[in-house]
Structure 1
Amino acid sequence: MVTRAYQDIDAHVRRLWRHRGTTLPSPRRGPRQQLDLDDILDAGIALADAEGLAAVSTRAVAAAFGKTPMALYPYVGTKEHLLALMQDHAVAMPEWEDPPTGLADALEAWASALYEVYLAHPWLTERRWAQATQGPNEQDWMERLLRILDTWRIPAPARPPAVTMLYATVAATAETDAAYRRMSQEGKSEWLAQAQATARQIPDLTRRYPLSTSLEPVTTDWQDSPRAALAAGVGILARALAAPTG
């Protein structure tokens, strides 16, 4: 016997893969659907881009079309289904050519492309690894990354940790970059004032923490440091992956 839960999952998968061979579920009764799923997701993404993920609800998205939350359910399912659909829709992979000049360049091109997607939609970094959509657009990114590792003959056991490190590094640096961009002038001034106050109140700070206080920044412009750190981190990982073993 097929339960309601499995029917909901099946409908959700059909929505995710609607442009890759599945057909959208349609209501058994009631009026014909009047909205387009892509339009609904575009509205949800625009809301999340402008106000953050917390602002997204079926009520808020439905209101953009003059509908009630219940009227939206046949199109997207539950709120979690809506967020997953938005997530996969937002990460549609742009086109680029893999640089033939080496593993580091190929990985940096992949990481930079995903980084730009996260910057365009900062709320994506709030969706954790456990909330992967299993949708086609997210699958495209994974397949592209694994193809790079396969092309440069990275051993199979090294691929899973490399994938985890790359995704985590891109998300973390993009999240920091987005936070820097949101920081007001007042926030920047407060950060600097606290640093100066710490130096006054803790005059032996460098003696207590000699390594961290002498750490050289990746770049002289602190606002560019997340992107610079990403490029440097990808380079370190690439060299480690390409190093001979045994």
Structure 2
Amino acid sequence: MNADAHVRRLWRKRGTTVPAPRRGPRPGLDLDDILAAGIALADADGLAAVTTRAVAAVLGKTAMALYPYVGTKDNLLALMRDQASTMPAWEDPGTTLADALTAWADALYGVYLAHPWLTERSWSQASQGPNEQDWLERLLAILDEWHIALSARPPAVTMLFATVRATAETDAAYRRMSDGRADEWLQIAQATQAHIPDFAARYPLTTGLPPRTPDWRDAPRAGLAAAVRLLAEALPVSGP
């Protein structure tokens, strides 16, 4: 891996220059076009659909033609991840910490829903690019503005990123679920009740949980909103 070239590509719109390909016709491909093609494939069919050959085919090129512009496939996926993580604009509510954190979480949630494949890549595969860094900096700015104790900030960051990611992943899975798969889930639940008639007695706390939303498909987002507010109430404020 050529780390220098990769970092220059990641930060190309924040002060670095993209390394010029040493081979291939000029003018050649555009890096943004390559990433747009890869992101479109991933949005439609998941990361499994993204290969250098598939991306190149969209652009009418060969897989080898992409290498001078993106490097390895891992480089390509990292560049795609950072590009897809571009932060949308939104106004901070300026009312409460819970409102500010909810606005941040909703914005990131929207990015994950627009690009569900982002949750397929683990934390260890973070791009280290500027767009992903923007999310962390914006979150830390909120915690700083509301004078959250320094010792509480790292766990708060972990909990918020993880909760947004997990709930958005579930939401995306619900959206992909066919009517047949939903019916199958209901049939299993009904069969469980028939064969385990004392299920509620065995698991009284589980079955006693009130539903958060009338439609189970709305539960992930509702759960996120409640979790963010619960965390906001628990975060300690630093002393004067």
2:185 equivalent to 1:191: yes
Match of residue 5, structure 2, among 7, 11, 14: 11
Letter in 1 for 2:70: V
Query: Quick one: which amino acid aligns to residue 104 of structure 1?
Result: A
Counterpart code for 2:202: R
Point out the more displaced range, 148-157 or 25-34.
25-34
Q: Of 82, 85, 92, which residue of structure 2 is paired with 1:91?
A: 85
Please tell me the root mean square deviation across aligned C-alpha atoms, in Å.
1.3
Question: Partner of 1:110 in structure 2?
Answer: 104
Correspondence for 1:45? 39
TM (norm. structure 2) is 0.96
Q: Deviations over 1:105-126 (max 9, x none)?
A: 0000000000000000000111
Alignment of 1:1-246 (within 5 A): 5=1, 8-242=2-236
TM-score (norm 1): 0.94
Name stretches of at least 5 consecutive residues in structure 1 with no aligned partner: none
Cα distance per residue 1:195-225 (max 9 Å; x no partner): 0000000011111111111111221210100
Deviation at 1:244, TM superposition (A): 8.3
For residues 57-94 of structure 1, the C-alpha deviation after alignment (integer angstroms, 9 at most, x for no partner) is 11100111121111100011000100000000001101
Distance 1:59 1:29, change over 3 A: closer
Q: CA deviation at 1:148?
A: 0.1
> Structure 1's 37 and 30: CA in aligned 2 closer, same or farther, altered over 3 A?
closer
Distance 1:243-1:209 versus aligned 2 partners, 3 A rule: farther
d(CA) in 2 for partners of 1:225, 1:216: 12
Q: Cα offset for 1:27?
A: 2.7
Matches of 1:169 and 1:116 in 2, distance apart? Answer: 13
Runs (5+) with no aligned partner, structure 2: none
Count of matched residue pairs: 239
**SS of structure 2 residue aligned to 1:232:** helix
Q: Which amino acid aligns with 1:152?
A: W
State the AA in 1 paired with 2:99: D
SS in 2 for 1:153: coil
Using the TM superposition, give the Cα deviation of residue 30 of structure 1 relative to its aligned residue in structure 2, in angstroms.
4.6
Runs of 4 or more off by more than 6 Å in structure 1? Answer: none
Verify the 8 A CA contact 2:213 2:219 in the aligned structure 1: yes
